[in-house]
Structure 1
Amino acid sequence: MKSFEEARELVLDKIVPLGTERVQLLDAVGRVLAEDVTAPWPMPLCDNSAMDGFAVRSADCAPGVTLKVTDYIPAGATSEAAVTAGCAARIMTGAPIPPGADAVVPFEETSEGEGTVTLQKEVKKGAHLRFTGEDVGVGDTVLAAGTVLGPAQISMLASCAAALVPVYRIPRVAILSTGDELVELGTTPARGEILNSNTFAVAAAVRLAGGEPVILGIARDDHESHLSLLSEGLKADLLVTSAGVSAGDRDLVRDTLAELGVEEQFWKVAIRPGQPLAFGMKGTVPVFSLPGNPVSTMITFEEFVRPALLKMMGHTSVKRRTVRGILQEEVRKKAGRTAFIRARVSVEEGRFLARISGDQNTGILRTMVGSNALLILPEEGSLFPAGSEVSLHLLDPSLHLEP
């Protein structure tokens, strides 16, 4: 079997970003920029006022000086009338600085009279001015390809008049659960039946990662059902199956995928839970066959499928944040496999402190619900005493150490 790191690196080596498309500006939120963006003009476009106040000549100014107000320049207007000696122009934030002025005095530092203004404080040259190109010069690269687009980046794109934005495409992810025991939502399960929760867990994880889930339904335990639904799934950008990947009489997924031309890259990884995980490629379409126990499905998606999805969407940082934390209780495991332990992490006195979140049986969903991190225990170890320093994959991005 491949080790955890070997298997994950093999997956990421096989994955390439999808093609690109141009989308409306707001549709680009959360997407990854596919091309560099350069400024078509300087920002600001001209010298302008950073405050509501009076444009003045600093050489004329001193506390107690009274100036004649000769002009009014609201935002959106311009004036070619020069500010001459002993004069000032009333000006609003963002309005271009008129010729002759080299500073702005805020209203709150003045006393206004009838057509005059008296200064209360010393005025320095350049005060409250925003200068041409001080933010961005014409031709500057303002956003590099690979940037994830949030509010600040969208603002910069809007400032560059980028109504259409080049971004990496969102993957369509086909999701298939397998097994005669599964029933769909809206059905009360009978003895021996199981609600098809895995499909919705995987679809939710795909959506949170930024992909588009395509639910195929349930493949029953016969060749025809598997062949039909897996064929449909291979039309997507990525295919994820759950269950049917072990060595039982009704585990048909691997054989059917091979029949459909999927080249298996590995089967079984030295991890717990999730050992039966398989990964293959059909041309450029990655195929992940996840184990069927709900917790195993979610953890293998988290550690293998999610990074692949993010890379397909152009992300360069695709793995969960890994930190070191302190175990608050003894943990045991069998040597020979990397273990992913559902954990509850808190931050105290500048350290991450970790406790297991309950029963680690892969059928116990409540323990997954109560977890905000995965404790990563290496293959070679078996006993990890309380106080040990361990690796943690943080599932909750809000967890951080106080500065």
Structure 2
Amino acid sequence: MLENVKLEEAQELILSLVTPLPDETVPLLDALNRVIYKDIYSLSDLPSCDQSAVDGYAVSVSEKEKDHSFVVKEHLKPGEMPGYSLLPGEAAGVVTGGPLPGGTVSVVPHEVTRLAGNRLAFTGEIVPGENIKPHGEDFKAGELLARRGAVVNPGLTGALAAFGRSEVAVFRCPRVAILGLGQEVVDCSALPLPGQIRDSNGPLLAGLARKHGAQVTGVQLAGGGTLPQIKDQLERMLRQSDIVLTTGGTASGASDQALYAVRQTGAKVLFWGVRIKPGSHSGAAVYDDKLIISLSGNPAACSAGYHLLAAPVLRLLQGLNPWPRRVNAVCAGSYKKWGGPRRFVQGNLEADQKGLKVTVLPGQKSSMLRGLLNNGNALIDLPAGHPPLEEGAEVSVILLYPFKW
């Protein structure tokens, strides 16, 4: 077992054991935010035939003569396919999105025409191709619609529906189980006795895991269970999930159970302790082919450890790039602590006309929840031995969620 490792070493140890999950086929309407399992190609041209872009008249003219008076052969209804081609001097009434007869040179909007009986008059210029949506204008047959690893968004949902796909193959959602350790921790619905605290980390981790596309199979507490009982509980959770997150009991005190419980299962401990703050009391182990990631019991440290150690695993299990995006930003506000190990400060990244700025959020103590309430979307990465962080300084920022500017 390695102890007190660098963050990158811990991440590489964990990710080296992760294999993307198999696929499953889901209804298209349930595929939003899921990850495409294999490349998807268009099966045909879209649109499949030339269509009108406006309500009006499809007209045909000869190359030598610019006709401005046409015989209207027919008024096509929505979805009606013409069974003829237009000859020069002929026209047909068409609707937006409707198929065009062969021989159509241009479509004239109805508001600029005059109709008398079956004669159509138009005094403007006939521009070849105007108001025509040619077949394949949007997509050509065989064109790539989505690569493996693409996240399904509403636009892709619409495109797949346009090609008749009612189902889509996606990576299976990772199954995550969460176990809270500590005899003093009780369910959030309970009235704590003196010396007890409600479980906030379990719901916190469940929300974070779901935000990263996971299915949470259970949030449990060890309570006052003995080590053999916690071992059995942990093994049951491993059988029901792809990854187990434990929270609390990761330090080296007499009452800390995490390392002992993990070892009791026969899991191979990869490392224990990471050279960061908050989240230094974090560890990981592998049981058969499943990971156990143990996080601090302090809420802010638990959250930081999740983003740095567990979130990359959930992304890779779904075929995504495990590494979060990193950018440089100007710091809004200050952070007066200095020195010590590498530190991750909770922040909120925004973009304005001057560029990217990150605000230091209040409540930075490991034991506090306050900093998690302010829509924090970033961690400011301060190197070991850093000086106090001053307003206006340029800092390296890890994005916790997709960010567009």
Look up the match of 2:151. Answer: 148
Aligned pair in 2 of structure 1 residues 333, 15: CA closer, same or farther (>3 Å)? farther
For residues 92 and 155 of structure 2, what CA distance do their matches in structure 1 show?
33
For residues 291 and 322 of structure 1, what CA distance do their matches in structure 2 show?
27
For residues 401 and 39 of structure 2, what CA distance do their matches in structure 1 show?
31
1:151-197 deviations in Å (ceiling 9; x for gaps) = 11112212222222111000110011011101112222222110011
Offset of residue 60 of structure 1:
7.9
- The farther-off stretch of 374-383 and 176-185 is 374-383
For residue 351 of structure 1, the aligned residue among 340, 352, 355 is 355
1:203-236 deviations in Å (ceiling 9; x for gaps) = 1111111111122411135213311210112111
Look up the match of 1:367. Answer: 371
Task: Name the SS of the counterpart of 2:266 in structure 1.
Answer: coil
Offset of residue 123 of structure 1:
1.4
Look up the match of 2:237. Answer: 233
- Do 1:20 and 1:168's aligned partners in 2 also have CA atoms closer than 8 Å? yes
For residues 36 and 266 of structure 1, what CA distance do their matches in structure 2 show?
37
Which amino acid is the alignment partner of residue 248 of structure 1? Answer: G
- Do 1:271 and 1:338's aligned partners in 2 also have CA atoms closer than 8 Å? yes
Aligned pair in 2 of structure 1 residues 65, 315: CA closer, same or farther (>3 Å)? same
Offset of residue 377 of structure 1:
0.4
Look up the match of 1:202. Answer: 205
For residues 179 and 111 of structure 1, what CA distance do their matches in structure 2 show?
83
**Structure 1 length as normaliser, TM-score?**
0.92
Look up the match of 1:387. Answer: 392
Look up the match of 2:105. Answer: 102
For residue 9 of structure 2, the aligned residue among 6, 11, 31 is 6
- Do 1:327 and 1:390's aligned partners in 2 also have CA atoms closer than 8 Å? no
Look up the match of 1:124. Answer: 127
For residues 349 and 92 of structure 1, what CA distance do their matches in structure 2 show?
44
Offset of residue 61 of structure 1:
11
- Do 2:61 and 2:88's aligned partners in 1 also have CA atoms closer than 8 Å? no
- State the number of aligned residues: 399
Q: CA RMSD of the aligned region, Å?
A: 2.3
For residues 33 and 357 of structure 2, what CA distance do their matches in structure 1 show?
31
- Do 2:313 and 2:322's aligned partners in 1 also have CA atoms closer than 8 Å? no
- Do 1:359 and 1:367's aligned partners in 2 also have CA atoms closer than 8 Å? yes
Which amino acid is the alignment partner of residue 276 of structure 1? Answer: H
For residues 188 and 292 of structure 2, what CA distance do their matches in structure 1 show?
25
Look up the match of 1:25. Answer: 28
Look up the match of 1:114. Answer: 117
- The farther-off stretch of 36-45 and 202-211 is 36-45
- Do 1:244 and 1:291's aligned partners in 2 also have CA atoms closer than 8 Å? yes
Offset of residue 345 of structure 1:
4.6
For residues 344 and 38 of structure 1, what CA distance do their matches in structure 2 show?
38
- The farther-off stretch of 173-182 and 92-101 is 92-101
1:347-395 deviations in Å (ceiling 9; x for gaps) = 4541333443234221121133236232210124244344321112344
For residues 57 and 404 of structure 2, what CA distance do their matches in structure 1 show?
48
- Do 2:329 and 2:358's aligned partners in 1 also have CA atoms closer than 8 Å? no
For residues 309 and 64 of structure 2, what CA distance do their matches in structure 1 show?
67
Task: Name the SS of the counterpart of 1:5 in structure 2.
Answer: helix
Look up the match of 1:182. Answer: 185
Offset of residue 56 of structure 1:
0.6
Offset of residue 323 of structure 1:
3.3
Look up the match of 2:280. Answer: 275
For residues 32 and 355 of structure 2, what CA distance do their matches in structure 1 show?
33
Offset of residue 398 of structure 1:
5.5
Aligned pair in 2 of structure 1 residues 369, 105: CA closer, same or farther (>3 Å)? same
Task: Name the SS of the counterpart of 2:308 in structure 1.
Answer: helix
Task: Name the SS of the counterpart of 1:10 in structure 2.
Answer: helix
Offset of residue 249 of structure 1:
1.7
Q: Which runs of 4+ in 1 moved over 6 A?
A: 60-64
Query: % of aligned pairs identical?
Result: 28
Offset of residue 18 of structure 1:
0.6
1:338 correspondence with 2:338: no
- The farther-off stretch of 297-306 and 345-354 is 345-354
- Do 1:323 and 1:394's aligned partners in 2 also have CA atoms closer than 8 Å? no
Look up the match of 2:256. Answer: 251
Gaps of 5+ in 1: none
Which amino acid is the alignment partner of residue 372 of structure 2? Answer: M
Which amino acid is the alignment partner of residue 266 of structure 1? Answer: F
Aligned pair in 2 of structure 1 residues 279, 61: CA closer, same or farther (>3 Å)? farther
Aligned pair in 2 of structure 1 residues 385, 38: CA closer, same or farther (>3 Å)? closer
Offset of residue 109 of structure 1:
2.5
For residue 309 of structure 2, the aligned residue among 270, 283, 304 is 304
Offset of residue 80 of structure 1:
1.7
Look up the match of 1:137. Answer: 140
